[in-house]
Structure formats: C-alpha cells, structure tokens
Structure 1
Amino acid sequence: MTHLPISNIKLHFRFLLVLSFSLFSFGISAQSNAREGIRQMVAAELEFAQFSAEKGTKNAFVNFLSDDAVDYEKGQPRNTKTFWQNRDFKGVLTWQPYFAEISDSGDLGYTVGNWQYHPSASSDKPTAFGTFSTFWKKQSNGAWKVVFDLGSTHTKPLDPYPGTITEAFSSFSSPLPKNQGIAERFVFMADHYYSKNAKTAVNPYEPHLSKNARLLYNGQVSVYGIKEATDFLSKKADKSLVFTGMKTTLASSGDLACVQGIVQTKGKYGSYFRIWKQESKGSWKIVLEVVNI
C-alpha cells in the first residue's frame, strides 16, 4: 500500500477545500442572479402594465418592446416594434401578471397573467378578456425588454385575480457550448418533432410536458398541470394545425428556451410559442404553450 507524504495530503486537502468553496460560491452566485433577475423582470412587467393604463397601450408597447422583437402576420415575420409604431390602436389594454419564471442565469424569462380590453379609457368597463404571456430578455445595457408577446381570448375568468405573483426558478443549469447555435438548434428540433409527432404518436403529449405545464388557447381559460394539459390536448387539440418554428432564443445558463413561430390550418394563419425548460441533463420539457389562431 502506497502512502502519500504529509505535504501532498495537505496540498490535496487544500485543493478540495478550494474546489468545494468555488462550487458553493458558484451556486450562490447563480441563485443571486436568478432572484435579482426575476425581481427586475417582474418590476418591468408591472411598469409595462402601468404605462399602458396611464399613457396608452400603443406607447407602452413602443417603449417596452425590444428593437429586434418579431411576430407574425399572415404567415410572414414582421418587426413588432415597427408594427406598433405604425398601428392605429383604439382602446386600452390592462393586465395583471400572476406568474413569472426565469432562467438560472437571470437573463431570460416569461410572465403570465390576465388581460382586459377597455373601449376607450382604462376606467371603462372591459368588453374582452383573456390570458397573456410575455417573453422577456435582459438587454446588454441591463434593461428588460419584451421579445415576444402572445395571449388567448376567452370569457371573463371565473377565478378572481389572486393579487400575488408566483415565482418559479430553474433547478438545473447547463452552461452553453462554445457554439450557442448548436444548443438552440437542439431545442428547435425538439419543438419540431414534438409538433410533428403529435399527429401520429400514441402518446404524443405527456412525455414532453412539465408537471407544471401551462396552456393558453383561444376560447379556453388557462390550463395548468400535466394531467389537465394532456387531457386537453388529447381531446381538444386540432390535429390539422401545422406548426412552423421560426426562431429560438436560449438563456445563457442553457436551461430555458423559447421557440416561436407560425401556426396554420385551412388557409388561416396565427402565431405560437413554447417555453422549453431543461429539467435534467438533456431532458427538455414544455412549461408553457401559447397558440393563437
């Protein structure tokens, strides 16, 4: 049996101690990034909503959209900020977020909540209702901007606005490879095959949904939970819908991604986006799906 010299043992122990401290510090730093990030993102969402109610919905979108935000009209991409700058929007949208989730790196996240449409001023009685989801990204200057915004329309929500915002964080972080495009392509293809297999697979939904999956579809109050989401998609999903992913955005921590694109059927066009979350190494699950057509 070989024995290490006392000096080598001490050196080895010091190395392990430094390594353990470094890993602990990295974990604390990541948690700090996420908590500060979600605080900033929620603050931006609340400011966005207040801006719309007080200064007009058009002004709010022009001020809070990122310069490179893209949405889709009749199957074609367009710059969302330019669209809102030229849009003659009547009435006022008000909204109240009740859920927010962020990446481990604290630079990418989304919010979900209720929205109402008022014909003239925010004080008017609302005439339309729905659920929204806004996808946010932290910019290089530290500001949070809207990258994509989409929602569903339905009757007035049966449950009252809870008055609080539930926050969710990632439990897994996977640093990106040197080529971020490879990681984004992986999520993009996962989204593509999920859409494709939904038409023919025996069990196309449940294996790909997070236990906290949330669905937003027109005419339907928000569906929440893997069982509820699986039941809804199995019984009510329109198998004629064709999904075409157009863009993938991935957090620098490699744990949260958004795939957005076009949905079409029988000459009708709309938009969709899915938030994918890496819950364990290589295992990506859908935490949010929004379809508007």
Structure 2
Amino acid sequence: MINKFICTLLAATITLGAYAQRTDGTTKSLLKAEQEFAESATKNGIRSAFNSFSAGNALVFRPNPVNARNYYAAQPNDKNLSWTPDYAQVSRSADWGFTSGSYVVDGTQKVYGQYLSVWKAINGKWELVLDLGTTHNKPLHPVVNKFVDPKDYFKPQFNGPKQIAAGKEIILTTEKTLSAMLKSHGIGAFGGFLNSDARVLFPGYEPIIGKDKIVAFYNSVVDKISFKTTQADKANGGDLAYTYGMATVDYRTDLREIFNYVFIYERQPDHNWNLIEQIYTPTER
C-alpha cells in the first residue's frame, strides 16, 4: 500500500512537471511559463532554469549572441537573479510570443535592469528562444502592466518554406526601409515606425514608453543610428515579428557605440509593420 502511494505521488509529480510549460495559445499561459521560469531560477539556480526552459537552439545575448545551453554550461548555478514581467503578448497563431520587464541581480552590489525574452510554442509547451537584458540605476518609476491576449486565432492553411521565407522578407524590407529613412530624414524618422504605446529599453535608462517620449529621447541623445539585421522571424498568424542584429549609434556627444538589438514589430490595420518594443545591449569589444 505504501509503495502504491509513493508510485502515485511520483506519477503526479512527473505529470505536473510535464505540463508546467504547456501553452493553450493565451498570454496567460506564457506568463505562467515565465513565472515558473523565474521561480526555478531562484529555487534551482540560473543555469538549471535556463537549461530546463530554453529551446535547444535558443540564443542569449551575454552580451553577444551565444547558444543558451552552451553558455550556461560554463556558468555557476547562482540563485541571485529575479525578474518580473510587465509586458507580454502572444501571436494570433499561438506559435510565439514575448515577455519583458524588470530584473534584479542581488550580488555584492545590486544590479537593476530590463529584459526581453522571445518564446516559441514547441511540441505544446513554451520554450525560450531569445533573451537579452540591459542595465540601469535603481528604478524610480513603476511601469504599468500590459498583457495582451490574441484578438482571435488564425493560422494559414498553407504555410510552406516559400511562404515563411516571403514573410521574413517583408520584415527585413521593413527594417531596411527604416534604416534608409533614418539616413535620409534623420533620427525623427523613427516616429513613422512606432506604435503610440511603443517601448524602448536602452542602457542607463528606465523604460521609455510612448511614441512621443521615444522620439524625444532619440532626438536628444542620438545623432545617427544604423542597423545591420542578422535575422528576422514572423509569426504564422501574420501579426507579430521580431528582428535582431547590430546597431551603430552615433551620440550627439560625438561618441559612437555598437549594440546588439532585438526589435518586436506588430502588423497594423493598414498592413504596415510598427515597432512595439526595442531593446539595446552593448556588444562585447
């Protein structure tokens, strides 16, 4: 009887673990996976958590992109990292979504910052595929949570390699157009590519939220900026996309800095693609 009880308890534990990251296509399920990821990091250690929640080909920017599992295999299994999402959204096709928010590293000195993570639904569960963060001083201003569920469910009946490649090309062309506009019309051209509630996560700054504030930030800090896109991906639902690559920033102070970046795009009713979140982290020199 005792053995039967132990076996039943073990089976229940295994079942719970198997369902821990399951996706049902909602942002709520993604936030649940994020919460379990964060709890695992504080309970079992950062290395263990990333190994458990990352896809096999996941990239982390530390600061340059590297395979997540390879990177954490050589890192100590610290338990001093905590984070809380304040922004999340899932595609209509439920194949991927993103989360972002604040994090704290509680070491000899506390380190504060913002992160952005991209997740994909793989074999019915959420797995991390991209993750990067940027630092700033201890935050003084709270950020209002924004968790956006898909407005409906849509997945094209036919979406083969040619259709996927064509979708990526649309995003790459959008980013090329953005770069061209910035070069010809100046930094203010960002305004034509931003949602009204867009966010920018930039080193040394708390989240910059809202189109007007972002344009004012770029105008006051940046003289020129150019992008070299490494990769783009578009959700099957055709509503969300992301890019990553390198950005060269010339400041108004006559200094230049090179960043890794990840941009999140959302398709608008007029079929244009607008930026809804941007994050920059300095490259390794």
TM-score under structure 2 normalisation? 0.78
Aligned counterpart for 1:216 among listed residues 183, 196, 201? 201
Question: Over alpha carbons, which structure has the higher Rg?
Answer: 1
Check if 1:147 corresponds to 2:136.
no
2:119 alignment counterpart: 136
- Given the superposition, is the C-alpha separation of residues 48 and 91 from structure 1 closer, same or farther in structure 2, using an over 3 Å criterion? closer
Q: 1:88, CA displacement in angstroms? A: 3.8
RMSD after superposition: 2.7
Deviates more, 1:169-178 or 1:83-92: 169-178
Matching of residues 157-236 of structure 1 within 5 Å: 157-160=139-142, 165-170=145-150, 175=156, 178=160, 179-202=163-186, 203-236=188-221
SS of 2:72's equivalent in the other structure is helix
- Given the superposition, is the C-alpha separation of residues 114 and 73 from structure 1 closer, same or farther in structure 2, using an over 3 Å criterion? closer
Q: Is the 8 A contact 2:201 2:278 kept in 1?
A: yes
- Which residue identity does 1:189 align to in structure 2? T
1:21 alignment counterpart: none
Aligned counterpart for 1:83 among listed residues 71, 87, 90? 71
CA distance in 1, matches of 2:221, 2:240: 27
Deviates more, 1:171-180 or 1:107-116: 171-180
SS of 2:93's equivalent in the other structure is coil
- Given the superposition, is the C-alpha separation of residues 275 and 160 from structure 1 closer, same or farther in structure 2, using an over 3 Å criterion? closer
2:40 alignment counterpart: 51
Q: 1:171, CA displacement in angstroms? A: 5.3
1:109 alignment counterpart: 97
CA distance in 1, matches of 2:190, 2:256: 26
- Given the superposition, is the C-alpha separation of residues 152 and 248 from structure 1 closer, same or farther in structure 2, using an over 3 Å criterion? same
Q: Is the 8 A contact 1:114 1:161 kept in 2?
A: no
- Given the superposition, is the C-alpha separation of residues 114 and 238 from structure 1 closer, same or farther in structure 2, using an over 3 Å criterion? farther
Q: May I ask how many residue pairs the two structures share in their alignment?
A: 250
Aligned counterpart for 2:27 among listed residues 38, 51, 54? 38
Q: Is the 8 A contact 1:74 1:270 kept in 2?
A: no
CA distance in 2, matches of 1:58, 1:274: 26
Aligned residues with identical type, % of pairs: 24
Q: 1:112, CA displacement in angstroms? A: 1.5
- Given the superposition, is the C-alpha separation of residues 35 and 188 from structure 1 closer, same or farther in structure 2, using an over 3 Å criterion? same
CA distance in 2, matches of 1:74, 1:57: 17
CA distance in 1, matches of 2:74, 2:270: 44
CA distance in 2, matches of 1:174, 1:285: 21
Stretches of structure 1 lacking an aligned partner (at least 5 in a row): 1-33, 121-125
TM-score under structure 1 normalisation? 0.76
Aligned counterpart for 1:156 among listed residues 135, 138, 155? 138
Stretches of structure 2 lacking an aligned partner (at least 5 in a row): 1-22, 250-254
CA distance in 1, matches of 2:213, 2:238: 28
Aligned counterpart for 1:68 among listed residues 37, 51, 57? 57
2:237 alignment counterpart: 253
